[in-house]
Amino acid sequence: MLNLGKLHFGGDYNPEQWPKEVWKQDIELMQKAGVNLVSLGIFSWAKIERRDGEYHFDWLDEAMQLLHEGGISVDMATATASPPAWLVKAHPEVQPVNFDGVRLSHGGRQHYCAASGVYREKAAALVDQIASRYASHPAVVMWHVNNEYGCHAPYCFCENSRQAFIKWLQERYSSLDELNASWGTDFWSQRYYEWDELVVPKRTPDGTHPNPGQQIDFKRFTNDVTLELFKMERDIIKRYDSVHPVTTNFMSMKFTYAMDYWKWAKEMDFVSTDHYLAQHDPQNHIDLAQQADLTRGFANGQQWLLMEHSTSAVNWQPRNYAKTPGQELRNSASFVSRGSQGVMYFQWRQSQAGSERFHSALVPHAGEDTRVYREIAELGAWLKENPEVANHPTDRAQVAMIYDYEQFWALMQANLPTQDLSYAETVAKWYRALWELGIRVDFLPADASKADLSAYKLVLMPMVHMLSEAEEQAYHDYVADGGNLVVSYFSNISDRTLRVKLGGYGGKLVRELAGVYVEEFYPLREGQGELSNGLKPELWSELSRLEGAKAIATFKSSDVDGSPALTVREVGDSKVWYQGTELKLGSQKKFFKDIASTLGIDMEGGDESEVVRRGPYVFTINHAKNKVSLKKS
């Protein structure tokens, strides 16, 4: 668990990039800015282990000592994120192979295959050295395993991965017959008769794609094999330190999807995440809020830690816009309001060399007499003056949205009714509609129990494409017990193996619970489609009919005129809404506003301001240029 009674402030510290004279100045500037925590050694493997088994800790000992004397705590990293040159030279098979069969090179970072035995062995040896050496160091307050697992080369298609994939499949399926049935391998002559015939889903002939079941299982396997790496490192640390919590930094960002963080969070002592803004987007504070809320979901509603964000510009977008004055303070306040136990950055001092030299930091190239340093020092002072904020989790919302990585993976595949579907965009649009209405949202996984669901007045299901029967039942039970649901088009189409549920699309969830019988999909053509109530659809329509629901709107100017587009079914005191199309943002807002009014859901702030409560603390943040007055309904 994260410590209470204190908000953390600081960031990645890479002293190895600087001569020692700079280190003393670093400590002074950290103290002046109110920094109380740094993540140390994240990319230090080559500096620590200069040849196989030859470790150099003198420099790190010295840096640790300076930090400790300066009253700055350490989030001790395990340094395994970027294997050194000597390792890949001796064992080239450590480097991952991409979808096209190309082996990726040393020279960037994260160039390791998660299934590589050599990588595991060498990483374990390094972690053992670091953990045993620093476990009782008084500066260490937490452990930072690796870095952003699955960020750069999550999927490896090498022979080691193939072997590991087969083993994983053997654990998942009781027999090859079961695997063949669930992947549907009688299609296109794909049936397997021996386990060793199985392949990883590499590139196939043009116009064809690997089997859908194989693809989704490979994504599950990749998650699990990578999570094993985390668990390996965590368990080594625990052998030496059973007191301080262990984490690894997630990437809760709109288009990062390779790891299933719901599963990861269960293995961690506390959840931490990184977030970077799409600075070209003037509404990026809404994405920030979404990802912070999602991270709180992974943390099961409890406090978590923002491990990295930027003080100003990043260096990896097409144009790297700097933050505007005051923006960073608003960003940080939003993270803290949504449950972060402080504010951490990449990185302390802006690099002079290397590919991140144009990425902002707490101490910019120009030094401390700068807007950035002054603003962060102001923030540091605020965090120091308000330590009790840390003792309170963010208040629970009245609305929960389902978010599930396997849906993301399923909807990324080719050969769907339209290639224009985007899970990330639809979820973001629903979230934005709610944010602009001033409706707060918590996130839940698709396999949430009925008890988890029951804490909410309203549960939203945007494109929850796959559900097992047991999962489906939990939503039925939630509604039977008084819960309210909104289900979108293309939900519950398949079971978790991607086999389609027959007898009306959407299975029992749509046909019985929502009361709509869906026959056929009609993706909308460009510019086509209207709704009878004036709301604006896009992307999707479907041929359907009511089977117990009432129509709120039907399709017009489409190929399915008269088919229900928006419906509601009353089940006792509960209501189940079905949205058989994608709505444009303004229309999505109107639809949700009506639902919120019907159910008496609180709306506070909205438009360009947010109001978030964390126990007795009320955070009100205005993102508009002008003053606004807050409204509540």
The residue among 35 and 448 lying less far from ligand GAL, judged by its C-beta, is 35
SS (H, E, C) 392-454: CCCCCCCEEEECCHHHHHHHCCCCCCCCCCCHHHHHHHHHHHHHHHCCCEEEECCCCCHHHHC
- The structure tokens listed for 37 are 């925590």
Q: Please check whether residue 54 is in contact with residue 83, taking contact to mean a CB–CB distance below 8 angstroms.
A: no
Q: What tokens does 33 get?
A: 């800015």
Cα separation of 269 and 225, whole Å? 20
Tokens of 579: 């949205």
Inter-axis angle of helices 327-337 and 371-385, to 10 degrees?
30
Q: One of 148, 328, 406, 512 is an active-site residue; which one?
A: 148
Q: Are 45 and 83 in contact (CB under 8 A)?
A: yes
Specify the residue, 81 or 158, whose C-beta has the smaller distance to ligand GAL.
81
Which uninterrupted H or E stretch holds 61?
Answer: helix 58-69
Q: Two tokens at 416?
A: 């769907």
Angle at 27 between CA 21 and CA 28, to 5 degrees: 95
Task: Given the residues 49, 233, 308, 610, select the one marked as catalytic.
Answer: 308
Min dist. Cβ of residue 354 to ligand GAL (A)? 10
Give the binding site for ligand GAL (CB under 6 A): 147-148, 151, 274, 276, 308, 314, 346, 356, 359
The minimum distance between CB 43 and ligand GAL, in angstroms, equals 7
State yes or no: is 148 an active-site residue. Answer: yes
3-state percent helix, strand, coil for the chain, nearest multiple of 5? 35, 20, 45
Residue of closest CB approach to ligand GAL = 346
Residues in the chain: 633
The DSSP H or E segment spanning 554 is: strand 550-556
Hey, which residues does 396 pair with through a beta bridge? Answer: none
Rounded Cα distance between 451 and 460, Å, is: 16
d(C-alpha 498, C-alpha 365), whole Å? 51
Query: 609 with 621: CB under 8 angstroms?
Result: yes
Coil/strand/helix, residue 150:
coil
| Three-class SS state of 122 | helix
Query: If 0-12 CB within 10 Å is exposed, 13-18 middle and 19+ buried, where does residue 597 land?
Result: exposed
Q: Which is nearer to ligand GAL, 151 or 455 (CB)?
A: 151
* Closer residue to ligand GAL (CB): 276 or 435: 276
Least distance to ligand GAL, CB of residue 527, Å: 39
C-beta of 48: minimal distance to ligand GAL in Å?
17
DSSP category for residue 413? S
Nearer to ligand GAL, 42 or 88 (CB): 42
Q: How far apart are CA 505 and CA 130, in angstroms?
A: 54
H-run or E-run covering 11: strand 8-13
- Closer residue to ligand GAL, CB minimum distance, 148 or 375: 148
CB closer to ligand GAL out of 23 and 346: 346
Rounded Cα gap, residues 579 and 551, in angstroms: 10
Largest pairwise CA distance in the chain = 76
At position 331, the amino acid (one-letter code) is: N
Of 223 and 249, nearer to ligand GAL (C-beta) is 249
In angstroms, what is the minimal distance from the CB of 144 to ligand GAL? 10
Q: Is the peptide bond before 17 cis (omega within 30 degrees of 0)?
A: no
Residue (270 or 345) nearer to ligand GAL, CB = 345
Give catalytic status of residue 425 as yes or no. Answer: no
**Enzyme catalytic residues:** 148, 308
